[in-house]
Amino acid sequence: MSEFVQGPMWTIAVSVFFIGVIWRLVEILRRGIKRDLAVSRGSAGYGGAGTILRRFLPKKESAKSSLFLIIAGYMFHLGLFALLLFAAPHIRFLESQLFGFGWTAMPHWAFVVSAEIAFAGLILLWLRRILHPVTRLLSTFDDYLASGLTFIAMLTGCLALFASYSPLRILHLFSVELLMIYFPFSNLMHAFTFFISRAYTGAAAGRHGVQT
């Protein structure tokens, strides 16, 4: 089982992930942009870039009402980002399996803090999804499955690190591979497409002299 997970399964997961992500992005970009016949009143490039950056911060008008989502969202995404790129086991794995080079890892205490923040953010977002009537109505099976796979991958990773038990590391890798295979076909693609959607919205508004 371990040889399959570390060999063919890893190759399949990486191939599906990269081919799937590229295919989805190409499908979006090849649709093109509908020609705007209105007279330009501003810069589309400035509007697009500005919207990408401004959307990382909440608008004053909605900050109070969406404070819970803002805090929980940043907790999960920033914590997960730190774990993915700066946890020592991940750096060693990426160096040996993908990039051929590594970088400085965060200390163990930072890993623990990042993991706790990411777990807390994910759980808070999940509770919001099932308890808030509007969010619950809008949520789909894909949303719950993506959250579940992410949670399992994070949990098995933390258990494998703290227990130093080889079967747990294999289980963690297998859960990550399942997540990678599912990724291109799910709403998790927003990790790549949100740049495109923000740029498109901001460029259209910027050309009309409006700031979003």
Output phi, psi for 143, to 5 deg.
-60, -45
Q: What is the DSSP letter of 38?
A: S
Q: Rounded CA gap, 74 and 92, in Å?
A: 26
Give the per-residue pLDDT at 183: 95
Residue 179 CB-density burial (10 A; 0-12 exposed, 13-18 middle, 19+ buried)? buried
Report which residue type is found at 180. Answer: M
Q: What is the mean pLDDT of residues 182-204?
A: 86
Domain extents for the chain?
2-29+66-202
Cα–Cα distance, 195 to 135 (Å, whole number): 23
Report yes or no on whether pTM surpasses 0.95. no
Q: How high is the pLDDT of residue 63?
A: 66
Backbone angles phi, psi at 101, to 5 degrees: -150, 160
| Alpha helix stretches (DSSP H) within 8-132 | 8-29, 44-54, 60-63, 67-86, 88-94, 108-131
Tell me the DSSP string of 156-203.
Answer: HHHHHHHH--HHHHHHHHHHHHHHHHHGGGSGGGHHHHHHHHHHHHHH
Q: How far apart are CA 118 and CA 125, in angstroms?
A: 11
b/e per residue 36-62 (b: at least 16 CB within 10 A): eeeeeeeebeebbbbbbeeeeebeeee
User: What is the per-residue pLDDT across 65-113, written as a single tens digit (0 to 9) for each?
Assistant: 778 888 999 999 999 999 999 998 889 888 888 788 889 999 989 998 9
End-to-end CA distance of the chain: 51
Name which of 203, 151, 202 is nearest 179 in CA terms.
151
Q: Residue 149 and residue 147: Cα distance in Å, rounded?
A: 6
CA distance 79 to 121: 8
For 2-29+66-202, CATH gives: 1.20.950.20
Residue 47: pLDDT over 80: no
pLDDT at residue 7, rounded to an integer? 85
Give the mean pLDDT of the chain. Answer: 85
